[in-house]
């Protein structure tokens, strides 16, 4: 009995220690206000994106929720307006799984919004399936859609400098790789649609986010636009929704114990979007509100350049 009490107490102490010193995320310390600034956040009807949009709205920005579902996004617009007291929060339709939708979003945005100060490429999926143009879903949504979106909005970002592009990657980019011949023949970076392959496809797409940011920074030299990518932490969101019920049952205890909430999950995105003086670090990767080294493949400039050229061709930009 006494043994049991000691063990339980020990576990609780260990957990509290782990939670506060290992798991608890650093916070964005910037006090920057955003009156008169416009930001776009993709995939902001839920999860990390919604929490990010809320904080940007609290700081006074005009916030565009670029989301695919009108119903889900309009509910988020109301929540964010109510919680922030800022009425400059709007929905604009964007389905990253359709390059046509990306183009039409950009057209609407450029015709109706005079400014763009911060673009946050946040939306992401782990799931099987194909985009409208037949690309693997993770590659198409997480990378290709954001690649086209950023390029179409780049002129406006340049006009509004100093401005930023922030792309939410993941620690799992370290497990990613890019198989160009496979991409050319199957329009995807993996073959197969098992859960394991979906996770591999996700890792690959997150490596694309890192390489995209690296090459974008090169191309932005001499402009007042800087760009960053990041790992948000391990966060309780809807990202695992495509898992089967028994897979969800297995991960639920871990999620409850060790995953942080979305407010903590938005801190590194906010750091990259707001922190003063980050410009010399354009192209780099952040985690826990601090600069981090990326995996070896994420530092390969030739790979980054090749991915850029291939993506230009696949999106019809070249």
Ligand X SMILES: *[C@@H]1O[C@H](CO)[C@@H](O)[C@H](O)[C@H]1NC(C)=O
Placement of tokens 């309780």 in the chain = 236
According to DSSP, the residues that pair with 167 across neighbouring strands are 121, 229
Q: Which does 93 bind (CB under 5 to 8 A by kind): ligand X, ligand NAP, none?
A: none
65: three-class secondary structure by DSSP = strand
Shorter beta-carbon distance to ligand X: residue 223 or 288: 223
Rounded least distance, CB 170 to ligand NAP, Å? 3
Q: By CB under 6 A, tell whether 224 contacts ligand X.
A: yes
Asked if residue 223 binds ligand X (CB under 6 A), the reply is: yes
Phi and psi of 276, rounded to 5°?
Answer: -70, 145
146 exposed, middle or buried (CB, 10 Å; 0-12, 13-18, 19+)? buried
Whole-angstrom distance, CA of residue 203 vs CA of residue 93: 27
Our CB check for ligand X shows the closer of 97 and 225 to be: 225
Residue 116 DSSP one-character state: -
CB count within 10 Å of CB 250 equals 11
Please give the Cα distance from 173 to 210 (Å, whole number): 8
Choose among ligand NAP, ligand X, none what residue 163 binds, the Cβ cut-off being 5 to 8 Å by kind: none
CB of 216 to ligand X, least distance (A): 16
Give whichever of 160 and 234 is closer to ligand NAP, judged by the CB atom: 234
Using CB under 6 A as the binding rule, the residues of this chain from 87 to 146 that contact ligand NAP are 94-97, 122-125, 141
Report in angstroms the alpha-carbon separations of 154 from 5, 42, 96, 106, 291: 60, 16, 17, 10, 24
Residues 226-245 that bind ligand NAP (CB under 6 A): 231-232, 234-235, 237-239
Contact call for residues 96 and 68 (beta carbons, < 8 A): yes
Q: Using the minimum distance from each CB to ligand X, give the nearer residue, 121 or 163.
A: 163
Closer by beta carbon to ligand X, 224 or else 242: 224
**202 in active site:** yes
Least gap, CB of 97 to ligand NAP (angstroms) = 4
Q: How far is the CB of 69 from ligand NAP (least distance, A)?
A: 4
- Select the binding partner of residue 45 from ligand X, ligand NAP, none (C-beta < 5 to 8 A, by kind): ligand NAP
Distances (CA, A) of 6 to 9, 13, 14, 132, 144: 5, 10, 12, 57, 53
Residue found by looking up tokens 């949009």 in the block: 53
**Cα separations (Å) of 62 from 67, 84, 275?**
16, 12, 18
Could you say whether residue 155 binds ligand X (CB under 6 A)? no
Q: Which is nearer to ligand NAP, 232 or 283 (CB)?
A: 232
Interaction of residue 170 with ligand NAP, rule CB under 6 A: yes
Question: Residue 270 corresponds to which tokens in the numbers above?
Answer: 């906010």
Cα gap 58→80, rounded to integer Å:
9
- Sign for the CA dihedral angle at 61, 62, 68, 73 comes to positive
If one asks whether residue 48 binds ligand NAP (CB under 6 A), the answer comes out as yes
- Give residues 247-306 in contact with ligand NAP (rule: CB under 6 A): none
161's contact among ligand NAP, ligand X, none, with CB below 5 to 8 A by partner kind, is ligand X
Q: Does 311 bind ligand NAP (CB under 6 A)?
A: no
As annotated, the active-site residues are 202
Q: Give the residues lining the site for ligand X (CB under 6 A).
A: 161, 223-224
> What is the contact surface with ligand NAP in residues (CB under 6 A)?
42-43, 45-49, 67-69, 72, 94-97, 122-125, 141, 168, 170, 231-232, 234-235, 237-239
């Amino acid at each position: 009995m006494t043994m049991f009490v000691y063990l339980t107490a020990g576990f609780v102490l260990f957990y509290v220690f782990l939670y506060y010193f290992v798991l608890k995320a650093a916070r964005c310390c910037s006090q920057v206000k955003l009156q008169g600034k416009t930001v776009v956040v993709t995939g902001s009807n839920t999860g990390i994106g919604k929490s990010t949009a809320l904080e940007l709205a609290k700081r006074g920005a005009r916030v565009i929720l670029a989301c695919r579902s009108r119903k889900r996004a309009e509910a988020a617009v109301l929540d964010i307006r109510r919680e922030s007291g800022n009425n400059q929060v709007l929905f604009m339709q964007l389905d990253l799984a359709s390059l046509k939708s990306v183009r039409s979003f950009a057209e609407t945005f450029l015709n109706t919004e005079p400014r763009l100060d911060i673009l946050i490429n946040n939306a992401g999926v782990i799931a099987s399936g194909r985009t409208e143009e037949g690309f693997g879903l993770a590659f198409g949504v997480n990378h290709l859609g954001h690649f086209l979106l950023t390029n179409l909005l780049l002129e406006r970002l340049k006009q509004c400098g100093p401005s930023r592009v922030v792309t939410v990657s993941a620690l799992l980019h370290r497990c990613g790789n890019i198989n160009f011949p496979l991409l050319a023949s199957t329009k995807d970076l993996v073959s197969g649609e098992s859960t394991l392959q979906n996770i591999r496809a996700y890792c690959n797409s997150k490596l694309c986010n890192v390489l995209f940011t690296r090459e974008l920074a090169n191309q932005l030299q001499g402009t007042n636009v800087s760009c960053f990518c990041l790992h948000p932490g391990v966060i309780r969101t809807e990202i695992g929704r495509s898992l089967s019920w028994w897979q969800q049952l297995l991960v639920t205890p871990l999620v409850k114990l060790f995953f942080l909430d979305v407010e903590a999950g938005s801190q590194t995105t906010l750091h990259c979007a707001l922190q003063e003086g980050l410009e010399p670090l354009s192209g780099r990767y952040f985690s826990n509100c601090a600069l981090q080294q990326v995996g070896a493949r994420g530092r390969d400039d030739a790979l980054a350049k090749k991915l850029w050229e291939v993506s230009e061709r696949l999106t019809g930009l070249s």
